[in-house]
Amino acid sequence: MDDRNRQVVLKRRPVGMPAPEDFDIVDGPVPEPAEGEVLLRGVYLSLDPYMRGRISGVRSYAAPVELGQVIEGRVVGRVVRSRDPRFREGDFAFGGYGWQLYSAVAAGILTKLDPTEAPISTALGILGMPGLTAYVGLSDIGQPKAGETVVVSAASGAVGAVAGQLAKRAGARVVGIAGGADKCRYVEEELGFDAAIDHRTPDLGTALGAACPNGIDVYFENVGGAVQQAVFPLLNDFGRMVMCGMIAEYNDTAPRPGPNLGAVVRKRLKIQGFIVGDQRGRIREYRAMAAPLVREGRLKYREDVVEGLDNAPAAFIGLLQGRNFGKLLVKLDRDPTR
């Protein structure tokens, strides 16, 4: 055990695309767990697009990260000290907090992980909040029926990959949108989508129209921007837009105009947003469904693992630029289960 904690804190509120200078790396004492708390040594830190909102200073569904505070993030780790009977040294758990090596967390909010059930990193991706996000958005809003066409943007990402695979399991024709030939190949060949389109294709609308000869019934929206503009006119009557995120616009300093809503009336569209945090309670339901599929290789995932906390800011900036390929994780320590 190191005798110092290390943290990435917010130095400056980014305007537009974050820069490395917006972050500071500081060393400090390892926190002392209080009675009922557990000291967790992080093994994996999850980097997710929603964090961009938290460092913007705008009050949203969650409080923003303040200047000088450790950046918000979810961590899987190893218990190094426990002051609660439910955890022992050496246990693995999900629920560590922040871009840092150590966190002292109330035992009640930690979830013990069984490394023989699934790799512990999956608690941050396919079997964690990103997977649950896909599941909730698709079951509650998208509700694809067999034979319908589902389009998923950021299709090789942590959420999109699950959304598309679940839509395939529901019998839909699934078209993914991703950035670049490698990701598109992965989406088609590994994830088994019916087609994948590079969002940098010069005429995205035409390419998408060709890949969706029967129009689009469900759009699982992760990106916004030009992709949203290309998808919107292709929505069928009674189409559903699952509004999960709009990463392409997170660094905008002024909101772009959205689609004219006249089509929402004419086509009886439903455009609905959701936040997975409202649905945390359904993680058991989701894991019960998804964990066996993951073990059997019928629900696939890919992780993009960056080594070392110090590389978290650059990796996060890369995430906002679409440079990651799969669920982006920062490895904080050797994974003793692999």
Asked whether position 256 contacts a copy of itself by CB under 8 A, the answer is: yes
Asked whether position 305 contacts a copy of itself by CB under 8 A, the answer is: no
Rounded distance, CA 77 to CA 54, Å?
23
Rounded distance, CA 233 to CA 164, Å?
21
CB of 53 to a copy of itself, least distance (A): 8
Asked whether position 262 contacts a copy of itself by CB under 8 A, the answer is: yes
Asked whether position 258 contacts a copy of itself by CB under 8 A, the answer is: yes
Question: Phi, psi at residue 129, to the nearest 5°?
Answer: -60, -45
* Burial call 47-74: b when 16+ CB within 10 Å, e when fewer: bbbbbbbbbbeeeeeeebbeeeebbbbb
Cβ proximity to a copy of itself, 206 vs 272, nearer residue: 272
Length of the chain: 338
CB of 10 to a copy of itself, least distance (A): 20
Asked whether position 140 contacts a copy of itself by CB under 8 A, the answer is: no
Question: Which parts of 47-66 interact with a copy of itself (CB under 8 A)?
Answer: 53, 60-61
Cβ proximity to a copy of itself, 84 vs 221, nearer residue: 221
* Burial call 186-206: b when 16+ CB within 10 Å, e when fewer: bbbeebebbbbbbbeeeebee
Asked whether position 259 contacts a copy of itself by CB under 8 A, the answer is: yes
Question: Phi, psi at residue 136, to the nearest 5°?
Answer: -65, -45
Asked whether position 200 contacts a copy of itself by CB under 8 A, the answer is: no
Cβ proximity to a copy of itself, 213 vs 257, nearer residue: 257
Rounded distance, CA 287 to CA 39, Å?
25
Q: What are the residues whose beta carbons fall under 8 Å from the beta carbon of 43, sequence distance 6 or more?
A: 75, 76, 77, 78, 92, 120, 121, 331, 332, 333, 334, 335, 336
* Residues 226-255: x where in contact with a copy of itself by CB under 8 A, - otherwise, as a string: --x--------x---x-xxxx--x-----x
Cβ proximity to a copy of itself, 20 vs 258, nearer residue: 258
**Candidate residues 19, 26, 261, 314; the one interacting with a copy of itself per rule CB under 8 A:** 261
The pair of three-digit structure tokens given for residue 46, joined into one six-digit string: 């999850």
Q: Which residues bind a copy of itself (CB under 8 A)?
A: 53, 60-61, 221, 224, 228, 237, 241, 243-246, 249, 255-275, 278
